């Protein structure tokens, strides 16, 4: 998983057009923008449609967030949402987050693109995001439950830090 992210980062550092192509791919359904194929297809390990779509989605999100120099420790998307909610002091972020973790596989690309556009200032761990999204359709909703725990525990910890 990390190899995919590292490879995309290296390609984007070398050629800014790669990032532009991957960002542009977000305007299409995941895996439906042919110009992005050379950068993603070599890494689609599983032949399932879901795996392919998630690789394209994460590649586009990474390109939209990518900064050549990011020295910050990477955090989960749930933790980034909690930090953003704390920063802007808006309950609408929690509603968006709940909509995201409640999304089915058809709604997921749209909802995560919307929310992630608000999180540009946070160093998201895209390797972990890829792993989590590949498991999104699990019966026990382990990814969604893990994200909820991460979000609410981060939010509570941030509030506790503010009080002390």
% the chain with pLDDT above 70: 91
Name the pLDDT band for 90 (thresholds 50, 70, 90). confident
Q: Is the pTM of this model over 0.85?
A: yes
* Alpha-carbon dihedral 153, 144, 41, 107, rounded to 10 degrees: -120
| Average pLDDT of the segment spanning 71-91 | 90
The distance from CA 69 to its chain's CA centroid, rounded to whole angstroms, is 18
Q: Which residue in this structure is represented by tokens 């909820």?
A: 148
pLDDT digits (tens, 9 = 90+) for 1-35: 569 999 999 999 999 999 999 999 999 999 999 99
Domains plus CATH for the chain? 2-163 (1.10.520.40)
């Amino acid at each position: 998983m990390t190899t995919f992210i590292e490879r995309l980062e290296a390609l984007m550092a070398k050629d800014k057009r790669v990032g532009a192509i991957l960002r542009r791919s977000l305007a299409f359904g995941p895996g439906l923008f042919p110009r992005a194929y050379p950068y993603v297809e070599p890494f689609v390990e599983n032949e399932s449609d879901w795996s392919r779509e998630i690789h394209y989605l994460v590649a586009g999100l990474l390109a939209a967030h990518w900064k050549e120099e990011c020295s910050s420790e990477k955090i989960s998307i749930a933790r980034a949402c909690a930090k953003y909610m704390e920063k802007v002091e808006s309950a609408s972020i929690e509603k968006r987050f709940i909509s995201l973790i409640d999304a089915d596989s058809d709604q997921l690309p749209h909802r995560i693109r919307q929310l992630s556009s608000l999180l540009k200032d946070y160093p998201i761990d895209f390797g972990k995001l890829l792993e989590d999204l590949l498991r999104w359709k699990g019966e026990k909703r382990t990814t969604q439950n893990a994200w909820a725990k991460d979000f609410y525990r981060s939010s509570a910890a941030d509030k506790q830090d503010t009080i002390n």
